[in-house]
Amino acid sequence: MKIRGQVFFLAVPLLCMVLPACVGLSPAQNQGLPPEPLFVIKVDRDKSLAPSAVDDSSLDKFFSDEIEQPGLNRDRFDRIMADAIIKFDPTQELVSIKDHNISLKRSDGTTSSTFTDNAWAVCRQIPGKRKSSLRTFLCSTKEINGGAFNKSSGINDVVPLVRSTEMIEQTSALGASAQGAAAESLKLAWHPIAPGIVCVYASDSPNSLAMLSAEKAAQFGLGAADMKKVPLQNLLSHLPTDISVYAQNGVFMVTCGGDFESSLILDDRLMSALKKRVKGRLVFGVSNKDVLIAADGGDPSAVARARQLIERNIREGSRPVSDKLYYWDDGKITLWQ
């Protein structure tokens, strides 16, 4: 299973925010799912997508064996990550490691900053499996250094992502302290969906998601009305697996490989299929990037169970999105009351 973790890279100059993939246990995998899904929606996958680095074991040699130790602390994790990045791409040199931010200088004089918060959140509980979970991290840093995203990305690589308003606020704060091209790159293309959640556009590759700046999205002609058009079709074709819907105790759990579950609330086909299976209004939650939970709004006990799962995932999971529940009514999303 390939799961892209939200590890932010800020480069100067920079045209995008990049989220390298990390492999770990999705919160959705810890809910005790039934052995068989209630129903499956087949997706027409893009066969041209290159394989993810997640299966490339040759990348493990760039990490010190120390990274697998159970007692590894956060500061030491950051240092091992910095060493691995430089070993994998010797054209960079370390400037500093401060506040879990790895600052690097490239051969052309530009700098980049890698925040390790989410990489640590995904990896800290899996000693013995950390190397394999961080393979795509290394590939992403090299892609960024070579400008691969900016050179090759096009409208057919753009996907819509459901993310938190808090992420937008944090990005805006970073942009306020940046200058020049870096500041412009942190002005993301985002559009409100409902309180607590927004849609952002990103360029998708097998190893990374590069969030588009407002300037880049404008070049593609993308606005709020386009999230369910070409970008959504791209998203569905990029899913690593078919969409499976499980049901237990009145609660529905959607899985599609660990990358895009929360973003599937934009897929009216899926949400309509869920709506047909409830008697009241459809209630859903997207606590984390890889979680989409739904319930019958007319069944208070089912809604309560969904609420408990959302609260648990916010506490224990990584890559948080929203602690709220929402209604879905024929494509319209509003806050659950």
Assess if residue 331 is contained within a domain.
Answer: yes
Q: What is the pLDDT of residues 152-208, one digit of tens each?
A: 568 888 999 999 999 888 888 777 776 666 666 678 889 999 999 999 999 887 777
What's the number of domains the chain is made of?
1
Rounded to whole angstroms, the Cα distance separating 304 from 334 reads 18
Q: Is residue 271 part of a domain?
A: yes
pLDDT of 18 strictly over 50: no
Task: Confirm if 126 and 133 have CB atoms less than 8 A apart.
Answer: yes
137 part of a folded domain: no
Predicted TM-score (pTM) of the model is 0.79
Q: What is the pLDDT of residues 208-241, one digit of tens each?
A: 777 888 888 999 999 988 999 999 999 999 998 8
For residue 275, is it within any domain? yes
Q: Is residue 70 part of a domain?
A: no
Residue 22 has a pLDDT of 38
Where in the sequence is the domain holding 313, given as residue range(s)? 240-335
Q: What does the alpha-carbon distance between residue 223 and residue 189 come to, in Å, rounded to a whole number?
A: 8
Q: What is the pLDDT of residue 31?
A: 55
Q: Does 208 reside within a domain? A: no
Q: Which two tokens stand for residue 44?
A: 């027409």
Distance CA 119, CA 318 (A): 9
Residue 316 lies in a domain: yes
Classify residue 300: in a domain, yes or no: yes
